[in-house]
Amino acid sequence: MKRRVVVTGIGVISALGHNSTQFWARLSAGVSGIGPIQSVDCSQFRFRNGAEVRDFRPQDHFEEREMDFLDRFAQFAVVAAREAVRDAAVEWNGGLRRRTAVVTGSCVGGQTTEDAAFAEVYRDGRSRVHPMTIPRIMANAGASQISLELGVTGPVFTVSTACSSANHAIGQAFWMVRDGVADLAITGGSEAPFSFGNLKAWEALRVVSPDTCRPFSKGRRGMILGEGAAMLVLEPLEAARARGARIYAELVGFGMSSDAYHITQPSVEGPVQAMDAALEDAGLEPEAVGYINAHGTGTQANDPTESAAIRAVFGPHADRLAVSSTKSMHGHTLGAAGAIEAAATVLALRHGLLPPTANFLEPDPECDLDVVPNQARRAEVEYALSNSFAFGGLNAVLAFRRWDG
Amino acid sequence: MSAEELTRRVIGVIAKTHRVSPETITPETTFQELGMDSLDAVNVLFALEEEFNVNIPDEDAREIRTVRQVIEGIARLLAAGSQGGAQPLGEQAT
């Protein structure tokens, strides 16, 4: 029998702050964390702005020894996981540790380390790189460190599906808890994409905005890269109730699909199939959904395509839906995006307050949805979707339900 | 470089890399006594290669159990280097 699965802990580190409280305060106030990139000299780039985690001091979180083998993206994963586990007040015992899963998403893994190490051998002509380079680069470094730190010995792995990584990760964790494969899951994603080489690669794609991220708005000029991590604690409803845990929301559905269309161009059909699959998995009629946290990258291609996909799934109900893209505030965090946006969706349901699409200028007829421009909105929504659509055509959608106790 | 100088520098590198006080290390100290696992050991070997501009072969690295073995090994590599046997840093990658 399938078990109901609830979210009992949230941890977030992003451009909007170092914990989930700061994250929600800024997100619900419509404050954008986008600003001039400080970690890389972008003076010769076609873009200058990003959504960086500011004032992050690893030494406040890790011993020197731990910092040796933790790239920035893995540090973010651990910081978010610690907050989520503390927030959930998980009561550990040997049996639970064996039955706990850690599933994380990351698109580029420890590429800040990789970029620096490769520059040393290629550019500087050095004959060796630091021995911790490999453990720092591996995309599962965050998941492994969370497992080590908590003594968790159940299923632990990392999913890499570009911008859908975290949604695919959360979906796998959700199904494992629902099906009884795991009794607790710590799941989400983390990313730290700000290195010279990686930013150059993004520049070449001509999808990064020279100013800011304005999803669904006329005058939008592209995406803004972001960094950070978010982790959720998932557990079966009965277990959460038995220990008196605070429940944020119920995770009710997960759907995925592949466009099989183009390596970077989005399609309408793939996202439609993924949203349909999430609704079916949740046993929901489209009319039950009141809010969608959109993929909403702010690129020319994504936003009209996603708007058309939402119209195709929801029909006339699309006009009664609120849709917002919080990437306008925390940036596009690639492999962490689904996790940060899942946290945003869960908190929106809990607080009855829909975060806005910030930096919005004026409506674009090609994106004719109610995108909650610039101002958060009070709304008691029962069901919400969180969309992630990746380069490579891989789509993953989560469905959440407000928890009324 | 005198033997004393070499010993002092090797111990200094190990202490700094492994984050222990140099006073706790003598040539007779073993890596095991320092609580070093295999990953700690490759970190120390990397730091020694950087400090002395030598390449420690994998076969030699696997045999190392004591600080004295390190000192003797570095001394051998430095002697070979001064006879033209070791390459200076930077030349191999070009």
The tens digit of pLDDT for each residue in A18-33 reads 999 999 999 999 999 9
**Does B39 lie at the interface with A, CB-CB under 8 angstroms?**
yes
**Does B49 lie at the interface with A, CB-CB under 8 angstroms?**
yes
Examine the predicted complex and report whether its ipTM is higher than 0.95. no
Picking from A337, A404, A8, the residue whose alpha carbon sits closest to that of residue A160 is A337
CB pairs under 8 A between A and B: 31
Minimal CA separation from A63 to chain B, in Å: 11
* β A100-105/A184-191 pair status: parallel
Mapped onto helix, strand or coil, the DSSP state of residue A302 is: helix
The pLDDT value given to residue A347: 98
**Does A2 lie at the interface with B, CB-CB under 8 angstroms?**
no
Any bridge partners for residue A187, and if so which?
A: A103, A232
The sheet carrying A156-159 orders its strands as A156-159, A100-105, A184-191, A228-236, A5-13, A249-258, A394-402, A383-390, A289-293, A322-324
Cα(A65)–Cα(A62) distance, rounded to whole angstroms?
8
Cα(A101)–Cα(A92) distance, rounded to whole angstroms?
13
What confidence category does residue B84 fall into, taking pLDDT thresholds of 50, 70 and 90? low
In the residue annotation, A18 being an active-site residue is answered as no
The pLDDT value given to residue B90: 39
The pLDDT value given to residue B81: 83
Contact residues, A window 360-379, toward B, CB-based 8 Å cutoff: none
Which tokens go with A336? 């962490």
Interchain pair B43, A126: CB under 8 A = no
* β A383-390/A394-402 pair status: antiparallel
CB-based contacts of B4, cutoff 8 Å, min separation 6? none
Encoded amino acid at A78, one letter: V
The pLDDT value given to residue B83: 65
The residue of chain B nearest to residue A69, with distances taken between CA atoms, is B39
Helix A141-150 with A72-88: angle, nearest 10 deg? 40
**Does B80 lie at the interface with A, CB-CB under 8 angstroms?**
no
**Does B3 lie at the interface with A, CB-CB under 8 angstroms?**
no
The pLDDT value given to residue A53: 98
Please, are residues B25 and B14 in contact by the beta-carbon 8 Å criterion? yes
Stretch B11-27: mean pLDDT, rounded? 96
Cα(A24)–Cα(A1) distance, rounded to whole angstroms?
35
Mutation test of the interface with chain A: which of B17, B19, B45, choosing the one with the most A Cβ atoms within 10 A?
A: B19
What confidence category does residue A326 fall into, taking pLDDT thresholds of 50, 70 and 90? very high
- % chain B with pLDDT above 90: 76
Mutation test of the interface with chain B: which of A63, A64, A120, A127, choosing the one with the most B Cβ atoms within 10 A?
A: A127
Q: Which residues of A touch B42 (CB under 8 A)?
A: 131
The residue of chain B nearest to residue A132, with distances taken between CA atoms, is B43
- Point out the least confidently predicted range of A59-68, A134-143, A378-387: A59-68
Please, are residues A109 and A137 in contact by the beta-carbon 8 Å criterion? yes
**Does B46 lie at the interface with A, CB-CB under 8 angstroms?**
yes
The pLDDT value given to residue A310: 98
- % chain A with pLDDT above 90: 98
Q: Which residues of B touch A69 (CB under 8 A)?
A: 39
Other CB atoms within 10 Å distance of the CB of residue A377: 18
Which tokens go with A72? 């920035």
Interchain pair A125, B93: CB under 8 A = yes
CB-based contacts of A71, cutoff 8 Å, min separation 6? A109, A110, A112, A113, A136, A137, A141, A192
Secondary structure letter of residue B66 according to DSSP: B
Q: What is the DSSP string of A126-163?
A: -S---TTHHHHH-TTHHHHHHHHHHT--S-EEEE--GG
The pLDDT value given to residue B93: 37
Does B88 score more than 50 pLDDT? no
Nearest CB to A132: which of B43, B55, B90? B43
Does A194 score more than 90 pLDDT? yes
Cα(A342)–Cα(A295) distance, rounded to whole angstroms?
11
Interchain pair B90, A64: CB under 8 A = no
Q: Which residues of B touch A64 (CB under 8 A)?
A: 19
Q: Which of A107, A163, A213, A367 is catalytic?
A: A163
pLDDT digits (tens, 9 = 90+) for A347-405: 999 999 999 999 999 999 999 999 999 999 999 999 999 999 999 999 999 999 999 97
Q: Which residues of B touch A122 (CB under 8 A)?
A: 93
Minimal CA separation from B88 to chain A, in Å: 9
CB-based contacts of A298, cutoff 8 Å, min separation 6? A209, A213, A214, A215, A216, A217, A220, A221, A222, A223, A224, A325, A327, A328, A332
Please, are residues A383 and A155 in contact by the beta-carbon 8 Å criterion? no
Any bridge partners for residue A401, and if so which?
A: A250, A383
Q: Which of B37, B40, B58, B60 is catalytic?
A: B37
pLDDT digits (tens, 9 = 90+) for B60-80: 888 999 999 999 999 999 999
**Does A127 lie at the interface with B, CB-CB under 8 angstroms?**
yes
Stretch A185-201: mean pLDDT, rounded? 97
Other CB atoms within 10 Å distance of the CB of residue A128: 16
Q: Which of A213, A330, A332, A367 is catalytic?
A: A332
The pLDDT value given to residue B1: 87
> Considering chain A, what is the average pLDDT of its residues?
97
Stretch A55-81: mean pLDDT, rounded? 96
**Does A131 lie at the interface with B, CB-CB under 8 angstroms?**
yes
Contact residues, A window 59-78, toward B, CB-based 8 Å cutoff: 64-65, 68-69
Encoded amino acid at A234, one letter: L
The pLDDT value given to residue B22: 96
Minimal CA separation from A126 to chain B, in Å: 5
Long-range pairs for A260-264 at CB < 8 Å and ≥24 separation? Answer: A260/A393, A261/A393, A262/A393, A263/A391, A263/A392, A263/A393, A264/A205, A264/A391
pLDDT digits (tens, 9 = 90+) for A98-135: 999 999 999 999 999 999 999 999 999 999 999 999 99
In the residue annotation, A107 being an active-site residue is answered as no
Minimal CA separation from A129 to chain B, in Å: 8
